[in-house]
Each structure stands twice: as C-alpha cells, then as structure tokens.
A and B are shown apart, each in its own frame.
Chain A
C-alpha cells in the first residue's frame, strides 16, 4: 500500500475531477430532472410528448454513446438564439457533464413523475381550496409528500452518475480511473492501485446510498399517511 500513498497526489488529481464532474452532474440532473418530472406529470400534451420523447430516447442509449454524441456532434452544431451565438465547442469536462446530466435528468424526471402520481389527489385539491397557486401547491404540498418515494431512486441515480464519471476516461479525461490506469502503466503495480480506486468509488457511492436511506427514513416519519 506504500506505492499508493506515494502516488496520492496523482490519485487526488484524478479524484478531484471525478468529484467535480459528479457534483455538477448530480446537481444539474436533480434540478433539471425535477422540472422534467413536473412537466411529464402536469404539462400539456405538447410538453408531455416532447419530454417523453427526450426521456425515452435517453433511456434507450448507453451513457457512453450519449457522451460521445455530445463530445463529437455538439461542436459541429451552430446554435443561434435570437441572434446570440451560443458557443458549442465543448471540452471533455463540459461534454461529460452535459452527457451525464442528460442521462441523470431523464432518470430523475421519471422518478419525480412517478412520485407525483403517488400523492393522493385530495392533497393538491385541498391546497387549491386554500387558494394556493400551482407552484405553491407543488413545493409545499405535493413534492414534500413525494420525497420518501423520490429519495431512494434519486440516490441510486446519484451513485449511478458517480460511476458514470468513469466513462469520461474514454474521452481521455484524467479522472480517477484514467489516473489510476496511468499510474499502473508507469509503475507496473496493478492490484494496489485498482483496489484503491475501487475503494474510493465504493466509499463515495455507498455513502450516497446510505445517506439516501437515512434521509428517506426521516421523511417517512415526518409525513403522516
């Protein structure tokens, strides 16, 4: 294990990128996914079918292919919105972040849609009777009650995204797995470094899912059913 400690700086460089990418992907997926879910459940027919198309297309593609599609095709697309040119020459990090977010938001969206459907309609009606607006009802009645249903699969998606960041190594981004492979190629020491990388991934993902279970449990006690 001495070799691993000696190379801790290189591992940390990789881990830092993995953590940054995971954080961006998880936060963006959750925010966008929330609105995708709300749109899937409450949207009008056009919104619903567009979002359904998005979710179903993403779910039929491997994450890796989504990453490659973004990385290679996005820079070739010219996006001008109202005369404002939007730069599309994405680098590795941005491509990976966008690709993972597209995947994560589709997953979270589906989860949120299912959770919203699980809240009894009377709850929302009661809010309406009190004169709450749509967004007030959403954020103070429906969403809090669907949290116990949302959190377990949501943390699953978060762990999935952390694992998905390893795919960015195939875009030659020096995240944890890529860094590990570089060190292994240089030192010839295989097992210690792969075990260290596996341990790091495991600790991150396991912590996320345990935390999710804890929070979900708290929520379950908080909401009387």
Chain B
C-alpha cells in the first residue's frame, strides 16, 4: 500500500511558493501586455480602415483557434531555429526571448490579446451613443472621444471580464511547464520525478491552484463592489 509522505512537500515548500509567485507574475505581466495589445486591436477593429479591421479579425480568429501550447512551442523551440546558427536574426530572437519565463510571458500576451480584443470590442460597442454625441458636441475630435470617453466607460464595463481573463491566464501558466519555466506545475513535476511522490506533489499543486483561483476571484469581487462604477 502506498504511504503518503507529506514531508517531501513541506521540505521543498520553497519550490511551490516560488512556483506560485512565478505563475502569478507571468499571469500579471501577460495580462498587462495583453491588455495594451488588446486595446490597440479593439480600437483598430472599431475605428480603423477596412483592411486593418480584416487583419485584426484574422489575428483574433487565428489565435483563438489554436492551442496556447502550440504558440509557446513555436516561440521557444521553433523561432530560434528559423534563422541560421549565429546569424543576426537568431541573436535578435535570443535577445528578445532569452529564457523560458520571458518566452512564456510573450506567448501568453499574444494569446491574451486575442481574447481581450474580443472583450474590449464588445465593450466599445456597448458605450451609449449619447456619450459620444456629448463628446462631439463639446468639439472633441474622434481620437479624443475614443481616448477620453469611450475608453474609460468601456473599461468599467469590461472589468469583470478582465478579472475572469486574469484567472484564466493564471491557470494557463501551468502550460509553462512544457518549456520548464519553474512555476507551480513544474515544481509538482520536479517533486514527483525526483522523489517519486506523485500523489502528494500533484495534490499539493492542485490545492494551491484551486485556493489561489478562488482567492483571486473573491478579491476581484471585493474590488468590483468597492468601486461602485455606475454608468447608466
């Protein structure tokens, strides 16, 4: 009978703690970069010229329909090999994507941007026409209206979706184990392969993911309630 020995977990708790922190860090950075990219994409899709809209739509549809792991593998294993060995192209790639962590953050941002662009687009559409008309009557230009009226109102509407996306991204950081970024899943795999404590390691990782996701969800709900943003 298999005997559970949790001391392998408690003795290596730094691995799990560091892993959790790295996961959160990658999710936060991915969310921030993804939000900036997603905003640009969404505004380009709503206000840009037609060819630009097509490009954005194509990007969103493409990314949403391929697995994140494929993007990660392509960036990490594929991209440096595209260029000849020691060429300027390769050095350039290795400079931008020097390690697993950075590569995963970039992949996550590329991935998140597509989903966020969709969310932001819906947010832009939902901004009431009268706000835009009010802006126009104040003599604001199209860009000014977009930046100082549509953007702030839209951000309030999409805040809950943004929170959900963050939780989703945090869960997606588990995929970084594929390129050996030392996050939570990697920690669990290390403990399980180093000491053969499979059950303890994976159960621990599972519980940490679960608790963190719910902590984030509760935190977000508190923030949402605190900021009583009412936009009629």
A-to-B contact residues, CB < 8 Å: 57, 59-65, 68-69, 72-73, 76, 159, 163-164, 166-167, 169-170, 177, 180-181, 184, 188, 190-191, 194, 197-198, 201-202, 205-206, 209
Contact = CB atoms under 8 A, between A and B. Distances in A.
B177 interface: yes
A19 to B, nearest CB: 14
Nearest to A58: B210
B199 A73 contact: yes
Contact of A206 (B65, B171, B185, B203): B65
A63 B209 CA distance: 11
Given A62-B175, A72-B192, 10 more contacts: A61-B209, A62-B185, A64-B174, A64-B175, A69-B202, A163-B67, A166-B70, A169-B69, A188-B81, A206-B61
Nearest to B168: A62
A59 B167 CA distance: 10
13 contacts: A62-B172, A64-B177, A64-B185, A65-B185, A68-B185, A72-B202, A76-B2, A170-B178, A177-B73, A181-B73, A198-B70, A202-B62, A206-B61
Interface string B47-83: 0000000000000011011111110011001110110
Interface of B: 2, 61-62, 64-70, 73-74, 77-79, 81-82, 171-175, 177-178, 185, 188-189, 192, 198-199, 202-203, 205-206, 209-210, 213-214
Contact of B210 (A61, A76, A159, A197): A61
A163 B71 CA distance: 12
B135 to A, nearest CB: 34
The 3 nearest A-B residue pairs measured at CB: A62-B174, A166-B67, A205-B65
A62 B171 contact: yes
Contacts of B64: 205
Contact of A177 (B67, B189, B213): B67
B69 A60 contact: no
A43 B231 CA distance: 38
B91 to A, nearest CB: 17
A69 to B, nearest CB: 5
Contacts of A169: 69, 178
Contacts of A167: 67, 69, 175
Contact of B78 (A72, A159, A166, A191): A191
Nearest to A163: B67
B175 A69 contact: no
A181 B192 contact: no
Contacts of B68: 163
Contact of B202 (A68, A163, A177, A209): A68
Contact of B65 (A65, A184, A202): A202
Max chain A Cβ within 10 angstroms of own Cβ: one of B68, B82, B206: B206
